[in-house]
Structure formats: C-alpha cells, structure tokens
C-alpha cells in the first residue's frame, strides 16, 4: 500500500513535469534501459528492463524514474519466477521509483564531467536515500544519461532462502541508460 | 533367486525414476524465459482505448486482471522504433494523447518491413503493467505475413 502511494506521488511528479513540458523544456525517455547483474561463484544472474520511463526537468536538473519489476527479462524462466515471486515480490511491490536532483546543477547539460544525483529510491517497500554518479552525453541531439551503481539486497529488505544464499550476490550491480527526447503535449 | 531379481527390478526402477527426475529438473532450470505467445491461449481481446482506459480508471483492478496474461490488442501504430537491439511498436489511443500501448516485439516471426505508422494492427503479447503507457512484452503480430 505504501509502495503504491509512493508510486502515485512520483507519477504525480511526472505528470506535473509533463503538464508544463511544452513551456519548460522537459525531456522524456519512455524506453530507458536498466540492467542488473549478480555475480557469484555458483551462477551469474542478469536481467534487463527496456521499458523504464524517466522525465528530466532541463531547467532544475530534477530527475524522476519509474519502472515495472515484472518488465525485467531474464534468460531463464525459473530465475524470473524466483525474482518476481520470492525476492522482489512484484505483486506486492510492482514498481521501483526514483526521484532526485543533480547536485549543484548550473543549468548546463553540455559537460563531459560526471555529475552526482542525490535522490530517494523506493523499492520493495523501502525508501532509501542514494547518490548516483551519472555520465551526461549528447547522442543524435538527444540527451543521454547513463551510469552504474551497486545495491545491497539487505538495504531493501530482500530475503533470500538459506538454500539459495550462495546463488545470489549481496551486492547487485545496476546499470542504466536513458535517452531523452523533448516532451510534447 | 527370485528375491534377487525383484531387488534388481526395484533398483533399476528407482534409478530410472531418479534419472527422469534429474532430466526434468535440468530442463526446468534451463527453460527459457521468453515464450512464444502465438501458441498460448489468449486471455483477453481489447482495443487500445479499452486497455489503457482499464488501467487509468482502476489500476489495481486492471493489474490483478491483466498483468502476466496474454492480451490481444488492436490499435493504430503511432511509432516503430529500434532501440537497445529491440523493435518496439507504440499503439495510440483515441481517448488519450499521452498514454500508449508499448509493445516490445518478439524477434520471432516479425516482418517489420510490412508495417508503417498509421497501420491498424493486432498484436498479441504478455501484459506487464502500466507506467505512463501500458507495457506489453513478447509481442507478435497476428495475421502478418512476409512481403512477397
């Protein structure tokens, strides 16, 4: 319930940004890519979500991200079933949201220097403040934000059955790439 | 003597059961996540307006009813994109200019050259939920054939 409420808040933020998108130069990415990797001696697990939505406010440097946990695609069906049913409990917590802002944003997007984004990630019923290092690029006249970070499964209250502890890394590597286009009403 | 024969039969029987179980477990572990939705029984037939409308009016109910189900959706192509090595077709709605049905296409049996923006198409895929758009994965066109 709490997760749904927070998802709704982020959606309101997204819609709020979108409402004035025509005037304030907001950018949208409907097909952002987020992948995660879990490396252990027993097995490597990876999955990709290509339908992550993100909106950026060009003027303020605010970023909102939302994704469906069930949209992660695995190579093997059993991994996908365990992920959705046992670990992230996708029926109870269907979405992951992140809302944050670029630190010391000066309104300039044309930079090669990495930036840091402070924000709150709402995942698996847990809200946690995180700092992300992002790269800013310009590809085909589109703004591209990308980066990677590690997530500790303990931080987000993800329980792994004792039998499967050797199969799941405590630290999950997450990679993301968002290519934005102007938001048009 | 007969007891020994019986024991052998039981032993071979047990070994066969263990072997079959091992084969089953192996194939279950290796079973690919992507499924061919064209071979699955379809759950619901909707147009884009109804599908988007269901999520916009009552997301919890639509999620409980439609998510992880095979949906056949008919709509007009708004956009065809190729990003992250995947083709995606965006189906537009008459009632909503901001929400679409986003269909991540299965590479199997996809004749993308047949399709152009503005075409009306029916796609079958697995519904995953709703963000700004309704998201469907493993989509395949229905009744699309390669150009001759």
Q: Is residue B18 part of a domain?
A: yes
Number of structural domains in chain A: 1
Query: Cβ contacts of residue A22 below 8 Å, gap of 6+?
Result: A183, A184, A185
Give the pLDDT of residue A21. Answer: 41
Look-up: residue for tokens 């965006």? B90
Contact B28 A33 (CB under 8 A): no
Contact A68 B137 (CB under 8 A): no
CATH of residue B68: 2.40.50.140
Q: Which of A50, A53, A70 sits opposite B104 (nearest CB)?
A: A50
Instruction: Name the stretches of chain A with pLDDT < 50.
Output: 1, 18-23
Count other Cβ atoms within 10 Å, centred on residue B118. 9
Give the pLDDT of residue A113. Answer: 82
Q: Are residues B106 and B136 in the same domain?
A: yes
Q: How many Cα neighbours within 13 Å face the side chain of B22?
A: 6
Q: Are residues B66 and B8 in the same domain?
A: no
Give the pLDDT of residue B112. Answer: 78
pLDDT digits (tens, 9 = 90+) for A74-123: 988 888 998 999 899 999 999 999 999 999 888 777 777 888 999 999 99
Q: Are residues B41 and B94 in the same domain?
A: yes
- The parent domain of residue B55 ranges over 37-141
The token pair that represents B57 in the structure block: 């009016």
Q: Are residues B66 and B93 in the same domain?
A: yes
One digit per residue, the tens of pLDDT, for chain B of length 148 reads: 678 888 999 999 999 999 898 888 877 777 777 777 777 776 688 899 999 999 999 999 999 999 999 999 999 999 999 888 889 999 998 888 889 999 999 887 667 778 889 999 999 999 999 999 999 999 988 876 545 4
Whole-angstrom distance, CA of residue A127 vs CA of residue A9:
13
Contact A51 B28 (CB under 8 A): no
Q: What ipTM was assigned to the predicted interfaces of this complex?
A: 0.82
pLDDT digits (tens, 9 = 90+) for B88-123: 999 998 888 889 999 999 887 667 778 889 999 999
Number of structural domains in chain B: 2
Give the pLDDT of residue B1. Answer: 65
Q: What are the start-end ranges of the H helices in chain B?
A: 2-30, 48-57, 59-66
CB pairs under 8 A between A and B: 69
Whole-angstrom distance, CA of residue B81 vs CA of residue A12:
27
Q: Is residue B146 part of a domain?
A: no
Q: Are residues B133 and B63 in the same domain?
A: yes
Q: Are residues B11 and B80 in the same domain?
A: no
User: Do A127 and A142 form a contact (C-beta atoms < 8 A)?
Assistant: no
Q: Is residue B129 part of a domain?
A: yes
Q: Are residues B77 and B20 in the same domain?
A: no
Q: Are residues B68 and B117 in the same domain?
A: yes
- The parent domain of residue A56 ranges over 2-182
**Phi, psi for residue A4 in degrees, rounded to 5:** -65, -40
Q: Which of A18, A30, A185 sits opposite B102 (nearest CB)?
A: A30
Q: Is residue B148 part of a domain?
A: no
Q: Which helix (H) or strand (E) holds A3?
A: helix A2-19
Q: Which of A31, A76, A95 sits opposite B32 (nearest CB)?
A: A76
CATH of residue A125: 2.40.128.110
Nearest-Cα distance to chain B for A105, in Å, is 27
Q: Residues of B18-45 as b/e, b for ≥16 C-beta within 10 angstroms?
A: eeeeeeeeeeeeeeebbeebeeeeebee
């Amino acid at each position: 319930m709490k997760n749904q409420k927070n998802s709704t808040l982020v959606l309101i933020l997204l819609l709020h940004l979108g409402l004035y998108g025509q005037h304030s130069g907001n950018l949208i990415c409907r097909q952002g890519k987020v992948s995660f990797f879990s490396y252990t001696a027993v097995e490597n697990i990876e999955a990709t979500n290509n339908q992550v939505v993100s909106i950026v406010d060009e003027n303020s440097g605010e970023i909102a991200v939302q994704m469906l946990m069930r949209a992660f695609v695995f190579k093997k069906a059993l991994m996908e079933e365990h992920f959705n049913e046992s670990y992230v409990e996708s029926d109870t917590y269907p979405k992951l949201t992140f809302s944050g802002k670029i630190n010391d944003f000066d309104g300039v997007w044309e930079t090669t220097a990495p930036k840091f984004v402070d924000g709150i990630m709402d995942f698996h019923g847990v809200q946690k403040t995180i700092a992300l290092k992002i790269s800013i690029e310009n590809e085909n006249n589109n703004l591209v934000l990308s980066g990677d970070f590690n997530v500790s499964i303990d931080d987000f209250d993800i329980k792994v059955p004792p039998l499967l502890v050797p199969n799941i890394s405590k630290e999950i590597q997450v990679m993301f790439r968002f290519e934005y286009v102007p938001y048009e009403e | 003597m007969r007891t020994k024969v019986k024991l052998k039969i039981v032993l071979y029987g047990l070994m066969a059961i263990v072997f079959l179980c091992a084969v089953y477990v192996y194939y279950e572990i290796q079973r690919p996540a992507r499924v061919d939705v064209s071979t699955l029984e379809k759950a619901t037939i909707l147009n884009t307006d109804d599908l988007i409308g269901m999520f916009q009016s009552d997301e919890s109910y639509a999620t409980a009813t439609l998510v992880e189900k095979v949906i056949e959706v008919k709509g007009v192509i708004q956009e065809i994109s190729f990003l992250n090595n995947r083709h995606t077709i965006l189906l537009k709605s008459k009632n909503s200019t901001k929400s679409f049905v986003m269909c991540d296409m299965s590479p199997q049996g996809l004749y993308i050259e047949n399709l152009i923006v503005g075409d009306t198409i029916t796609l079958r895929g697995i519904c995953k939920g709703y963000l700004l758009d309704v998201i469907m994965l493993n989509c395949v066109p229905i009744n699309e054939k390669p150009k001759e």
